[in-house]
Structure 1
Amino acid sequence: MNITLAAGGTGGHMVPAHALAAELKARGHGVMLVTDERGARIPALFEGVPTHILPAGRLGGGPIGWVKALFAVMAGRREAKALYREFTPDAVVGFGGYPAFPALLAANALGIQTILHEQNAVLGRVNRLLAGRAAAIATAYPEVERLKPRHTAKVALVGNPVRESVARLGTMPFPEFDDTAPLKILVTGGSQGATVLGQVVPDALGMLPPKLRHRLQVIQQCRPDDIEAVRNRYAALNIPAELLTYIEDMPDRLAEAHLVIARAGASTIAELTAAGRPAILIPLPIATDDHQTVNAREMARAGGARMIPQDEFSPEVLSAQIAAIAGDAQALSNAAERALSVGRPHATHDLADLVERIAGGAAPLLVGKAEPFAMQAPSGMGVPA
């Protein structure tokens, strides 16, 4: 079968699409990617997959911005329809975000089956708009905000696809850690980095008790504009740190990490729980519908993560949380097990099964159901490890 994947914007949309592409190709299907310019620039993804860049608007900027977005979406829809007449897909899988919108609209217009994948615990704007026309909605969490009750019958709980090299980490022992071993910390702000992590993490590590501070080995992702200032701060604190603007070999870095400090993007949490890595999560406060806070809830409730709202994120608070998790080897190991307990390492396989059924004309065999729920106030630090 021929399957078109529609994704773009950030790694949060592109990484699960990439994982599905690899699985579908391994099963002998033809795969094509439709994306935008930002998605196409993300390195180390979709090698050997035919890729087409379409215009895609983004709502915002008042009435003038809306008009521009509408014209871009309609232009993208026309191009996608022409593309589908050359490469006729049996199904189009959308991964949310505005870059997927034109490709999915074109599929609807031509009567091609569509499947939506929602990475977050809040149904995104594009997926909300197209949910009524989709044959199936694949979700990453058992509870999904902004999901209309009339659409729950077409929902399959599959999880968020991760690379096989990440899923494999969950079957391997947690990195050895005791009272003398190095404490390896991985810091990532998602595919685009996060300035606030560079501002807070070095000073927080500098406040750790000597028995932890002297054993630190840090790998941190930084924005290009921030990397020199962060490097200078680590040097002043005499803390060994490797700084990168983009982490291409994330599976290898995760394999070595004892603790991860990160944003609460969907792909990040999927990788942490599949690999079984404890984390301190700082949800992005400006994320649409505050979805990163909702994303973090399941892992925090399980005890695999601690969640710090950004307005409470200070060196003092972070240092205390790191010491609480990593100050005891057994506590760190327990947190890793709890992170793994909410992982869905078979998400790629389950999503590929769903796509095959829809593309083949069969009714979706739902792997599970997601339920709508009311947003609750965040619970501060979450469940202690």
Structure 2
Amino acid sequence: MSQVSRHYVLAAGGTGGHLIPAFALAAELDRRGHHVALITDERGAAIPGKPDFLPAHVLPPGRIAGKNPVNWLKGARGILDGRQMALRLFDSFEPSAVVGFGGYPAMPTLLAATAAKIPTVLHEQNAVLGRVNRYFAGKVDAIATSCEEVDRLDPRHAGKVTLVGNPVRSEVLTLRDEPFPDFTEDSLFRILVTGGSQGARVLSQVVPDGLAMLPPALRSRLQVIQQCRPEDIEAVRERYASHGIPAELATYFEDMDERLASAHLFIGRAGASTIAELTAVGRPAILIPLPIATDDHQAANTREIVSAGGARSIRQEGFTGATLAKQIQAMAQHPETLANAAHAAWNCGYPNAARDLADLVESFGAAPIMDVIRMDRKVAPANGNEALAREPAL
């Protein structure tokens, strides 16, 4: 059996929100026997989780922001330099399509792709179309969305939109078929709190005191796992100790998937990857959207899961200990209430997002027949995976 191998270029900004779905798509395309290259910035090239097979090409910074004309000139120069670098990569790699995941490194790559007349696909992770994706929405061949309703998406482009969901890490997706952890009137009540790199401080300030306000019967069963900023962790530890609440604190958890699997309730921000993982696994949540998020997209991200009954959203200006305690009590006062919320969150998930996005990407473009590399598949033992011969990396 032979497999036609194509080349694809993925372009994503250097944050987990852009790169996690890019990595998931890369893994799916690689599994299908294709070759994939990543264009990103310095942060993206160093972010944990990048597949070993995926070469990363770093573009110069090219962000036009602020009011200083000097910064505009520097940003424009970075974009033009990045466009030329991307064109050189296309000359040697000959991609069948280019996929943009948003973020400023995607801009010069997509400019190069449109100039070279290479098929292009956008993937939008949030419920608000990002700035770079808005700019290219009318120029690309397809737009893949993660939500049924996406703000700032021009209705004129509706014909090129496909709802696929937001791909998540494979280790998270394997938890989808696991049952919600047992939660009874006598069991531990495990709460997972994370805030990411931005805004974790408000969680550190509010969550310990809010948990201390819970009724004694609920408070006595608490088991808290919380991610904190390094500069906050000792103060948070002292606060939990003063309340007599057992809490495991760290600045980073390598086994976050296992922590999510055992959690009964999540408290944290509403980034696109967070929402995708909560709905993939089926975990109820109390979400505090980041108020400075561009176009308030984190608040928009909460719409579907909140409407379905899988989460509650609290604006940061109203996020107090008393408000948090009230919402937790409403969700956990009866075991079935929390389990029902978990099921509602699960129903909002898109477990086939990586597959569906890969199908969409594969539908655009094909390398000329003289450039097609046919590769023999070898059947791997036991697990059914396939080993593929590979051409040298770029």
Taking a change above 3 Å as real, the CA distance of residues 244 and 42 of structure 1, as seen in their structure-2 partners, is farther
2:36 to 9, 31, 36: 31
SS in 2 for 1:208: coil
TM-score (norm 2): 0.88
2:51 equivalent among 46, 55, 59:
46
* Counterpart selection for 2:174 from 163, 168, 184: 168
User: Could you tell me how far apart the structure 1 residues matched to 2:71 and 2:243 are?
Assistant: 46
> Is the 1:185–1:259 contact (alpha carbons within 8 Å) kept by the matching residues of 2?
yes
Output the amino acid matched with 2:298. Q
Residue 120 of structure 2 is aligned with which of 111, 114, 117?
A: 114
**Structure 1 residue 321 corresponds to structure 2 residue 327:** yes
Residue aligning to 2:246: 240
Q: Name which of structure 1's ranges 160-169 and 268-277 shifts more when overlaid on structure 2.
A: 160-169
Using the TM superposition, name which of 314-323 and 31-40 deviates more. 31-40
CA RMSD of aligned residues (A): 1.5
Q: Which residue of 1 aligns with 2:213?
A: 207
Shift of 1:59: 2.8
Q: Is residue 2:265 matched to residue 1:294?
A: no
Deviation at 1:244, TM superposition (A): 2.5
Alpha carbons of 1:232 and 1:58: their partners in 2 closer, same or farther (altered >3 Å)? farther
Task: Give a deviation string over 1:281-311, Cα, whole Å, max 9, x none.
Answer: 1011111111111110111010000000010
Would the aligned equivalents of 1:57 and 1:73 in 2 still touch at CA under 8 Å? yes
- The aligned amino acid for 1:35 is T
What does residue 25 of structure 2 align with? 20
Q: What amino acid is the match of 2:41?
A: D
Match of 2:236 in 1: 230
Q: TM-score, normalised by structure 1?
A: 0.90
Larger radius of gyration: 2
| CA distance in 2 between partners of 1:207 and 1:31 (Å) | 51
- Partner SS, residue 117 of structure 2: coil
Q: Give every structure 1 segment of 4 or more consecutive aligned residues whose post-TM-superposition deviation is greater than 6 Å.
A: none
Amino acid at match of 2:344: R
Distance in 2 separating the partners of 1:100 and 1:246 = 28
How is 1:10-159 mapped onto 2 (pairs within 5 angstroms)? 10-62=15-67, 63-159=69-165
> Residues 199 and 290 of structure 2 are in contact (CA less than 8 Å); yes or no, is this contact kept in structure 1?
no
Q: Distance in 1 between matches of 2:239 and 2:45?
A: 33
SS across alignment from 1:260: strand
Report the counterpart of residue 381 of structure 1 in structure 2: none
- Counting aligned pairs with the same residue, the percent is 62
Q: Provide the residue aligned with 1:190 in structure 2.
A: 196
Aligned to 1:171, the other structure's residue is in SS state coil
Cα distance per residue 1:97-140 (max 9 Å; x no partner): 11211111111121111110000111110001111121100000
Which of residues 259, 262, 267 is equivalent to 1:253? 259
How far off is 1:193 after superposition?
Answer: 5.6
Deviates more, 1:54-63 or 1:304-313: 54-63
Deviates more, 1:242-251 or 1:277-286: 242-251
**Contact 2:14/2:47 (CA < 8 Å) preserved in 1?**
no
Provide closer, same or farther for how the CA distance between residues 92 and 248 of structure 1 changes in structure 2, counting only shifts above 3 A.
Answer: farther
Determine helix, strand or coil for the equivalent of 1:39.
helix
**What is the number of equivalent residue pairs in this alignment?**
361
Q: Distance in 2 between matches of 1:313 and 1:94?
A: 35
Task: Find out whether 1:8 has 2:13 as its counterpart.
Answer: yes
Deviation (angstroms), 1:192 = 4.5
SS at match of 1:12: helix
SS of the residue aligned with 1:202?
Answer: helix
User: 1:128-166 deviations in whole A, cap 9, x for unaligned?
Assistant: 111112110000011111111111110000010012222
